[in-house]
Amino acid sequence: MRRPFGTGNMASARRNNIRGFPRVLSRSSCICENYVLQVIRLDMVLVNRLICRRSRKEMTLMRLTTHSYFPSAERKTLFAGMALLAACTVVPQCLAEVELAHIFSDHMVLQRDLPIHLWGMAEPGEQIHAQLQDASAEAVADDLGRWSVYLPSRKAGGPFEVVVRGRNEVRLQDVMIGDVWVASGQSNMEFGMKTVANSEVELRKASQYDIRIVNVGHAYSEFPLSNLKEGVSWAKADENNLLNFSAVAYLFARKIEDSQHVPVGIIESSWGGTPAEAWTSLRTLTASPELTPALAAWAKILEGRTEEELRFTQTQKNPAAGQKPAPAPRDLNAWHPAYLFNAMIAPLTPFPIKGALWYQGEANTSEWNYAYYAPLFRAMIEDWRAQWKLGDLPFLFVQIANVKASSPANKWAEIREAQMQTLTFKNTGMAVTADIGEAANVHPRNKQDVADRLSRVARKVAYGEDIEFSGPIYRSSIVTGDQVRIWFEHGEGLMLKDANASFFEVAGADKVFHPAKASIENGTLILRSPDVPHPLQARYAWLDNPTCTLYNAAGLPASPFRTR
């Protein structure tokens, strides 16, 4: 059985390590910790390592030379405080036990056809031996107690046992080798199986599959962490533990197991109502001028938060007679740029995977945060790929569905366009859902079709099958007289369900759009309107809640689009 990460001597100090250096976790060293938590970019030299252990809970203090951040006087104060704390601490001698990172547990799935990476913590200098069947590898824990080994890649199969030995032994049972997908995003990815359409029928089918699932839980951090929070554990997907697990991700996994005949593992890392900025690293957000507006928008949010705090404090101190106190300030940590990446994505990146699934965008439809979504989404994809170091990692996403927006200012069509533009990236794919949403519900219950379309994309992009996996995608257009002719990728068997639908529009020099009549000619779409004798632009389904009428022979809907 897996020994939970966090029960050993060094666990409490290391379980939330900032990637690359240990956090100061002693309650009595809060001053030191506050210094560290303010650091955005550290150029440090590890000069000295002071360890203090107390009752099987080790607290690690690092003496850091931070020439680029801490002024000399502050460094001296920091070092003096560390030395004083170390000198005042009783140090009973007890050795740390070998521990694996929290992502490893019984019932897990390891990625096939890639080197198997295992890592964790142990006593500094401890010899580590890892074994999976006839393959083994050894490592020595470094000065901070970190160890890492790679076992040779394997074909799909299982169940196996993984054994890690140091001064103690950890055995992980019922381990499968197959394909692992990380499923992330906001509430439509988080949407659980218990609420999906025909949930009882779908849940009863769980026994027919051997899918493994793990949910990393909600967490945020100011800095990239090297480990997930405690309590993370893989499980076999069954009727009980699927109730609150991502419906899109699980139903996708079923489709993949059916088509690829290999074990499938899903790592869910999602949080409802969160913007893409929160899932992108700070290094990426600050690297491009195109993303400066994202940070500016956050600064504006913080200004509003400050006003909320002031109103709340004032009403607490001086409550007016008969007046309700101001509400407590909102908790904005889940919206903070990079915070979710730091705690829910960064700890996963050493874990080899097949690809990533993404269902998000609704939280970026506001008038103040939609304009930069296109460069932000592209940057996020590149960011994740760089962090995982697996080349052009398949990144598959769901285009946001149709819904009647809560405000005319919402920019649902613009977000769909930004998502579509990302398809220029290699090994990306998009599932269009603008025809299967619910006008009155931002969380449509039909996740079966979403998962089916997403699995089609995976079968082509990730598995190389020769299938049609996408609906028509706008490619180019030309104006001839009073008509606009439009070409599409994936337009074989282009068809209209309603040629008179008002969701086709054209506009002239005045940029005022009018309904257009649509027809199909030689695999292209022709649009005309008697109100626009000299059209210059065209668009389709350019609304928050359109009715989609354009499909291909595979029965897949065209993405909403506009010509330029």
CATH number at residue 194: 3.40.50.1110
Number of H helices, E strands in the chain: 12, 26
Does any domain span residue 304? yes
Of the residues 469, 503, 532, the one at which a domain ends: 469
Band the pLDDT of 551: cuts 50, 70, 90. very high
Across the chain, which distance is largest between two alpha carbons, in Å? 88
User: Bridge partners of 272?
Assistant: none
Residue 357: closest CA among 476, 439, 270: 270
Q: What is the pLDDT of residue 32?
A: 33
Does any domain span residue 145? no
Copy the structure tokens of residue 129: 């031996």
Does any domain span residue 267? yes
Predicted TM-score of the model (pTM): 0.84
The total number of structural domains in the chain stands at 2
Band the pLDDT of 324: cuts 50, 70, 90. confident
Does any domain span residue 368? yes
Give the DSSP per-residue string, 212-270.
EEEE--S---SS-BSSPPTT---EE--TTTTTTSBHHHHHHHHHHHHHH-S-EEEEEEE
Query: Looking at the structure, do residues 406 and 390 belong to the same domain, yes or no?
Result: yes
Query: Looking at the structure, do residues 439 and 417 belong to the same domain, yes or no?
Result: yes
Query: Looking at the structure, do residues 411 and 364 belong to the same domain, yes or no?
Result: yes
Of the residues 410, 442, 469, the one at which a domain ends: 469
Query: Looking at the structure, do residues 235 and 380 belong to the same domain, yes or no?
Result: yes
Average pLDDT (220-240) is 97
Query: Looking at the structure, do residues 376 and 452 belong to the same domain, yes or no?
Result: yes
Query: Could you report the per-residue pLDDT of 48-101, keeping only the tens digit for each?
Result: 333 333 333 333 333 233 333 334 444 444 444 544 444 444 444 456 799 999
Contact between residue 273 and residue 363 where contact means Cβ atoms under 8 Å apart: yes
Q: What is the pLDDT of residue 410?
A: 78
Residue 506: closest CA among 522, 472, 482, 488: 482
* Rg of the Cα atoms in the chain: 27
Query: Looking at the structure, do residues 211 and 341 belong to the same domain, yes or no?
Result: yes
With tokens 């997930």, the residue in question is 228
Task: Provide the residue range defining the domain that includes 337.
Answer: 176-310+330-469
pLDDT of residue 440 exceeding 70: yes
Band the pLDDT of 307: cuts 50, 70, 90. confident
Average pLDDT (263-267) is 98
Q: What is the pLDDT of residue 70?
A: 39
In this structure, are strands 395-398 and 355-359 parallel, antiparallel, or unpaired? parallel
CA torsion through residues 456, 457, 458, 464, sign: positive
Does any domain span residue 423? yes
Band the pLDDT of 319: cuts 50, 70, 90. low
Of the residues 450, 469, 488, the one at which a domain ends: 469
Does any domain span residue 35? no
| Whole-number Å distance between alpha carbons of 18 and 341 | 13
pLDDT of residue 177 exceeding 70: yes
Does any domain span residue 131? no
Query: Looking at the structure, do residues 297 and 397 belong to the same domain, yes or no?
Result: yes
313 Cβ contact partners less than 8 Å away, ≥ 6 residues apart: none
| Whole-number Å distance between alpha carbons of 181 and 186 | 16
Respond yes or no on whether the N-terminal peptide bond of residue 159 is cis (omega within 30° of 0).
yes
Query: Looking at the structure, do residues 396 and 502 belong to the same domain, yes or no?
Result: no
Average pLDDT (497-510) is 87
Does any domain span residue 323? no
Query: Looking at the structure, do residues 415 and 477 belong to the same domain, yes or no?
Result: no
| Whole-number Å distance between alpha carbons of 360 and 190 | 10
Query: Could you report the per-residue pLDDT of 131-152, keeping only the tens digit for each?
Result: 999 999 999 999 999 999 999 9
Contact between residue 157 and residue 334 where contact means Cβ atoms under 8 Å apart: no
Alpha-carbon torsion angle 329, 330, 331, 337, nearest 10: -110
Query: Looking at the structure, do residues 449 and 373 belong to the same domain, yes or no?
Result: yes
Query: Looking at the structure, do residues 510 and 379 belong to the same domain, yes or no?
Result: no
| Whole-number Å distance between alpha carbons of 455 and 548 | 21
Give the DSSP per-residue string, 36-94.
HHT-SS---EEEEEEEEEETTEEEEEEEEE-TTTS-HHHHHHHHHHHHHHHHTS-----
pLDDT of residue 389 exceeding 60: yes
Q: What is the pLDDT of residue 92?
A: 42
Q: What is the pLDDT of residue 405?
A: 81
Least confident of 84-98, 216-230, 240-254, 438-452: 84-98
Query: Looking at the structure, do residues 216 and 335 belong to the same domain, yes or no?
Result: yes
Return the amino acid letter for 102: H
